[in-house]
């Protein structure tokens, strides 16, 4: 009997200890509201001046309620208007994609779409050059794996020249540059296309659909896409330069499902509550079924289970062992951030009205997690690391998948290449930062927490620091510096030739005996090339609304110049007037440089 009592006592004590530990952990993961307020206020008081942020706002949701919400600084410096978390509306750009993804999932749960059926079934007349046997689906659009390049033309800026969403999509569709489902490449066009399909399937404008089925049920009364920029409750964005703030103009966009959301901290808290509540906030109407919300929040694409990837509309992150899903945004001086910690029933929204807010909101997320969810995860190193000889097959330069652009600026991807070098078995460097192998081909930063994964079959690099894009291994012969030198050498030929020609003409005018200029055609070509380069770097601004008919002749100017030079050489031979070596060289270099430019996509805009 005594033995039984002792056993019972030991088990009771053990149970009480476990319950106490669980209680302590629960308290540690759910901060006291007063402590949370003190921590948050202290952070913003210290950070806004440091990051040059005039105004900011935050709402923190925990356990089904708004734990803390506040505004800091000024929404409008000229009018000295303070930020109000309930009234001040911020542009939150890409957080609109979360609304779009939620709308798509609503159509899915009603049986109006299938996530894995080709979008051609819902818009058969849409002019997209699909890959054969590789349809684009809603699954691809919501995970940014449809294969579209980044869109930089015909996005709209002027309020008086705005197109409707349907006009914008139907007038200028992007064609995929890689097969769907292969890579993550953050795509504004892809999410706008999803919003356009919502519009067609629901038979109502996108903004009306979101208002009816998301904003109204959640009582998000101050959220929308159509905004009067003169509205007194709209925050003004600023840039900071030489000790003072300068206001930025309000810019519009055709692609409202990707980046036109305007909202308040209170409204976004309602949206967070709905998603943390698996589709239903505590005091509002259900917007998603529980199983639909769970599906939406699950990992839908990643190269490796320990590298964050994409959910439907949400981006994953791992910080201090916590899985976060959400999105960040930056548009015309505004910055915003929304993240959910599903395991902790916590969500955070922040917005700021200057470019410095990007770093500030990121710093708050890190500070919050360090304070209330400190790092505890450790990664063991691999006992049998991959031999250096095997790793060297993946050594070289990698280009971000999002860096692939359409048009002359595609060449700028050479500026964003990263380099992987093998040091020894199981050790590589990424841009000179050492990484050690934790699992086969999965590497952890030696002096940090970042992780990278090298896909030996696909030649891809995935980084935990940015799940919204992957990196593609270039051929061994590729070197970004070499291409920059080649391009600079070719491009500088023309201003140098034009300058030499001008000097010759000036000197010729000073002579008593004039000589006939023999390089006039070459000088004309040089001037045309100079004009072309000025045109090329200006294309994003020139074609922000539409690509006019005259753009294409200008786009092919180098081709026309090369052809003209070779016709001239042939005509001189026919007339038995043999051109000099300099003429041959200039024509040959121009032809080679034009071919080089063609390889980099200089002569296309779509």
Judgement on whether residues 303 and 452 belong to the same structural domain of the protein: no
Same domain, 225 and 346: yes
Q: Give the count of alpha carbons within 13 A of 305, CB side only.
A: 2
> Do 464 and 488 sit in the same domain of this protein?
no
Per-residue confidence (pLDDT) for residue 227, from 0 to 100 = 77
Check whether residue 422 and residue 507 sit in a common domain: no
For the chain, 606 residues long, the average pLDDT of each consecutive 10-residue run is 42 40 46 92 95 97 96 96 96 95 98 96 87 89 92 65 81 85 92 96 96 96 85 92 88 84 97 96 92 97 95 95 93 94 96 94 94 78 90 95 81 91 96 94 92 95 93 94 94 92 82 62 90 86 72 87 88 76 88 93 79
Alpha carbon distance 391, 406 (integer Å): 32
Identify whether 340 is part of a domain.
yes
Considering 424, 451, 473, which residue would you say is the last residue of a domain? 473
Q: Which residues contact 96 (CB under 8 A, 6 or more apart)?
A: 225, 256, 257, 258, 259, 260, 261
Domain presence at residue 274: yes
The answer to the question of residue 90 being in a domain is yes
Tell me the β-bridge partners of 91. Answer: 262
Residue 132 sits in the same domain as residue 193: yes
Q: Are residues 402 and 488 in the same domain?
A: no
Length of the chain equals: 606
Cross-strand bridge partners of residue 363: none
DSSP state, 126? -
Identify the burial level of 266 via C-beta atoms within 10 angstroms of its C-beta, where 0-12 means exposed, 13-18 middle and 19 or more buried. buried
Are residue 85 and residue 122 in the same domain, yes or no? yes
Tell me what pLDDT residue 21 has: 38
CA distances from 469 to 363, 400, 474, 571 (A): 22, 7, 16, 51
In terms of domains, do 450 and 502 share one?
no
Answer yes or no: do 203 and 315 share one domain. Answer: yes
427 and 456 in one domain? yes
Domain of 131, CATH number, reads 3.40.710.10
Provide φ and ψ at 589, rounded to 5°: -65, -40
Q: Quick one: pLDDT at residue 338?
A: 97
Residue 550 and residue 440 in one domain? no
Range of the domain at 178: 33-372
- Whether residue 82 is contained in a domain is answered as yes
Instruction: Show Cβ contacts of residue 494 under 8 Å, excluding neighbours closer than 6 positions.
Output: 525, 526, 527, 529, 530
- The reported pTM is 0.88
172 sits in the region (left: phi over 0; alpha: psi -120 to 50; else beta) called: beta
The reported pLDDT for the residue numbered 451 is 95
| CA 104/CA 114 separation, integer angstroms | 10
- 473, 492, 526 - which closes a domain: 473
231 by DSSP, 3-state: which?
A: coil
Regarding whether 160 and 127 lie in a shared domain, the answer is yes
pLDDT recorded at residue 255? 85
Q: Is residue 201 part of a domain?
A: yes
| Residue where a domain terminates, one of 342, 372, 402 | 372
Of 10, 1, 70, 15, the residue nearest 41 (C-alpha): 70
Structure token pair of residue 322:
């916590």
**DSSP H helical segments within 77-161, as ranges?**
96-109, 138-143
Question: Alpha-carbon distance 279 to 272, whole Å?
Answer: 10
**Is residue 5 domain-resident?**
no
In eight-state DSSP terms, residue 274 is H
When divided into structural domains, the chain yields a total of 3
Residue 587 to residue 589: CA distance in whole angstroms: 6
Task: Quote the pLDDT of residue 510.
Answer: 76
Inside any domain, residue 533:
yes
Does any domain span residue 570?
yes
Q: How far is residue 340's CA from residue 323's CA, in Å, rounded to a whole number?
A: 9
- Planar angle of CA 317, 326, 346, nearest 5 degrees: 90
């Amino acid at each position: 009997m005594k033995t039984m009592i002792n056993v019972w006592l030991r088990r009771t004590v053990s149970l009480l200890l476990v319950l106490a530990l669980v209680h302590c952990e629960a308290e540690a993961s759910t901060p006291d509201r007063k402590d949370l307020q003190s921590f948050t206020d202290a952070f913003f008081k210290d950070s806004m001046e440091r990051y040059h942020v005039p105004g900011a706002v935050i709402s923190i949701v925990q356990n089904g309620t708004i734990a803390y919400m506040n505004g800091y600084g000024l929404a409008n410096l000229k009018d000295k208007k303070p930020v109000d978390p309930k009234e001040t509306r911020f542009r939150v750009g890409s957080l609109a994609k979360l609304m779009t993804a939620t709308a798509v999932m609503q159509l899915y749960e009603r049986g109006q779409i299938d996530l894995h059926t080709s979008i051609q079934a819902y818009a058969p007349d849409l002019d997209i050059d699909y890959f054969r046997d590789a349809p684009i689906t809603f699954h691809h659009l919501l995970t940014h794996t449809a294969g579209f390049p980044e869109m930089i033309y015909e996005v709209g800026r002027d309020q008086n020249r705005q197109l409707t969403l349907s006009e914008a999509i139907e007038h200028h569709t992007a064609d995929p540059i890689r097969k769907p489902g292969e890579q993550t490449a953050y795509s504004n066009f892809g999410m706008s296309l999803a919003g356009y399909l919502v519009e067609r399937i629901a038979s109502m404008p996108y903004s009306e659909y979101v208002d009816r089925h998301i904003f109204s049920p959640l009582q998000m009364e101050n959220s929308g896409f159509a905004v009067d920029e003169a509205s007194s409750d709209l925050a003004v964005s600023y840039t900071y330069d030489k000790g003072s703030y300068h206001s930025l103009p309000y810019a519009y966009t055709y692609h409202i499902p990707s980046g036109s959301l305007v909202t308040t901290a209170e409204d976004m808290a309602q949206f967070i509550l709905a998603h943390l509540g698996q589709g239903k906030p505590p005091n509002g109407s259900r917007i998603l079924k529980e199983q639909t919300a769970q599906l939406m929040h699950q990992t839908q694409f990643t190269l490796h289970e320990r590298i964050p990837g994409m959910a439907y509309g949400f981006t994953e992150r791992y910080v201090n062992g916590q899985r976060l899903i959400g999105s960040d945004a930056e548009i015309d001086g505004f910055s915003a951030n929304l993240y959910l910690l599903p395991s902790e029933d916590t969500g955070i929204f922040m917005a700021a009205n200057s470019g410095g807010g990007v770093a500030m909101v990121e710093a708050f997320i890190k500070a919050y997690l360090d304070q209330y969810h400190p790092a505890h995860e450790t990664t063991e190193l691999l006992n049998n690391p991959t031999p250096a000889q095997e790793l060297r097959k993946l050594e070289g330069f990698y280009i971000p998948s999002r860096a692939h652009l359409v048009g002359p600026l595609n060449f700028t991807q050479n500026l964003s290449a990263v380099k992987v070098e093998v040091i020894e078995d199981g050790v590589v460097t990424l841009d000179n930062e050492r990484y050690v192998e934790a699992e086969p081909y999965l590497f952890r930063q030696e002096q940090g927490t970042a992780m990278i994964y090298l896909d030996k079959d696909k030649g891809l690099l995935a980084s935990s620091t940015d799940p919204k894009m992957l990196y593609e291994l270039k051929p061994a012969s590729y070197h970004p510096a070499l291409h920059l030198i080649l391009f600079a050498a070719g491009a500088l030929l023309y201003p140098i030739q034009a300058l030499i020609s001008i000097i010759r003409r000036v000197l010729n005018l000073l002579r008593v005996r004039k000589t006939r200029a023999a390089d006039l055609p070459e000088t004309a070509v040089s001037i045309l090339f100079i004009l072309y380069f000025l045109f090329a770097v200006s294309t994003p601004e020139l074609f922000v609304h539409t690509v006019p008919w005259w753009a294409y002749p200008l786009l092919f100017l180098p081709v026309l110049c090369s052809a003209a030079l070779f016709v001239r050489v042939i005509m001189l031979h026919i007339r038995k007037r043999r051109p000099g070596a300099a003429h041959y060289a200039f024509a040959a270099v121009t032809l080679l440089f034009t071919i080089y430019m063609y390889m980099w996509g200089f002569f296309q805009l779509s």
